[in-house]
Structure 1
Amino acid sequence: MKKQLALLLLIAFLVVGCGSAATEPTAIPTLAPTSTPIPEPTLTPTPEIPLALLVVPVDMDQELSNTYQTLVYDLAQSAGMRFQVRNTLTPADLEPALRVVITLPPDPGLMELASAAPQAQFLAVNIPDIVAGGNLSVLANTERPDIAAFISGYIAAMITEDYRVGLMIPKDDATGQMILAAFRNGVEYYCGTCNAFIYPPWCATQPCYPQYIEIPAEEDSSAYNAYSDYLVLQRQVETMYVFPEFATPELLTYLSSSGILVISDMSPQQRMG
């Protein structure tokens, strides 16, 4: 009996001992939820459309004024620029998007204005006592019929990478040759020898541009696209002067769809047919 009681007490001590040795389960710490701030979206500013300005006097001959306006309008549209006409020019007009300014007499103070807007190219036409330099060019003695072609060449070189400009002109035609010479003079007036950053593979000596192609008078208008292909595909022309006789809606649409900037003496209404 004593042996049984001792055995029961021993078992009881063992049970109690085992129970006291047991450890409480370790509690898993709970992390308090934190709110991660969501970054605000960054708004990308919309780039401003470049601006071309033509400054003409109020009393200018209307026909000549229309010629300048049509020409610069066409160039601005071709280059993806806005176009505005002013009768004067002030510092308030020198917005950051300004890229091209063509000014006829009287002088609005171009030398100071050009210095205040280094992002733009200024061209003074027939304005006396203007000193060219930096972003200011001077064009004098322009009482001639090829002034439109000259300015076309000047601005075409200004807006075209590596000066890759060209012309479609009539073959064996005195006016066509005058246009070619004036256009080339305008290009060279802007960039001198116009050395390209990358030489085209077909060009061994500078200047490589402007390139041109002559079209016979008897040629059918359906072939104009093929003539333009020579300049675009073989001579890598990116801006093209098209003689008005060849500026058919079909050709202009074809060139535009190919990404070519087109310059012509035609008004926008004439282009639309």
Structure 2
Amino acid sequence: MSRTPRAVAATREAVVVRVSGPTATLWVEGEEREARLRPRMPGGPAVAGDRVLLRPSDADAAAPTVIGVAPRTTVLERGERPGGKPRAIVANADLVVIMAAAADPPLSARLIDRYLVAAEVGGMEAAVVVTKIDLPHDAAELDALLGVYRDIGYPVLTGVAREPALAAAVRDLIDGRTAVLAGHSGVGKSTLTRGLTGVQRAVGAVSEKAGTGRHTTSDPRVIPMPGGGAVVDTAGVRTFHLPAMDRARLEAGFPEIAAAARGCRFRGCAHDGDAGCAVEGAVSDERLASYRRILATMR
């Protein structure tokens, strides 16, 4: 890599670029270095984007040892199962760019909603990018769905991943920050990463049998963008489970529901047909149904 992400350069700390088993690639004083990860270290396990502590005697060694993880400002987490134990994926990012396709694989609003919750509760901004709009799809249905997210206040972009126009629009959206690209396999994350960074990542096709993309990126990696900022290209998923969280935290993951809930008659309203609920009719039916589905997995 020829450039260091702004956040990395500003801290002048060792920052995790990529984790691979018991080792990691780090940015140390503007250079990439390989390091060993100490098992069961404080704040760990380390993930891409973490600021980490090196054993002092190893600071200038060829293969230093990471002995601890600094407190995170933000974190993108998933559950091993619905409502399961949280597992960190990326740390200290500013923005989650949730990618979906207009077709091939089919767009999943449920997946988008779960990523939006993960971004909100993890302290990051979020945006939705829909690719493959050059493929046959129901334009009216797509516009209606994306209108729901625009009305909430999320930035929404559409385009074709391989075309420079979409990369330029996403680069403007990132605006020198660190952004996580997340979503289904086969929606163009690696293609867009190449357009943003110039770095080639494996690009795969969509499985005809499953109707979803094949995994091509196996590990999150922080990749700087020319001119500032960075992207973290994450592994494509078929599903994304949220970790366990209480109802108040889940509600905060739906900002329009949290805002409407201030008008509920009773404190602790679950927005599930309760008397005096101010949420029903104030938010989209689709988003309220999504909230209720996720809430059911947390009980």
The two structures have a TM-score, normalised by structure 1, of: 0.36
The answer to which structure has the higher strand fraction is 2
The two structures have a TM-score, normalised by structure 2, of: 0.33
The answer to which structure has the higher helix fraction is 1
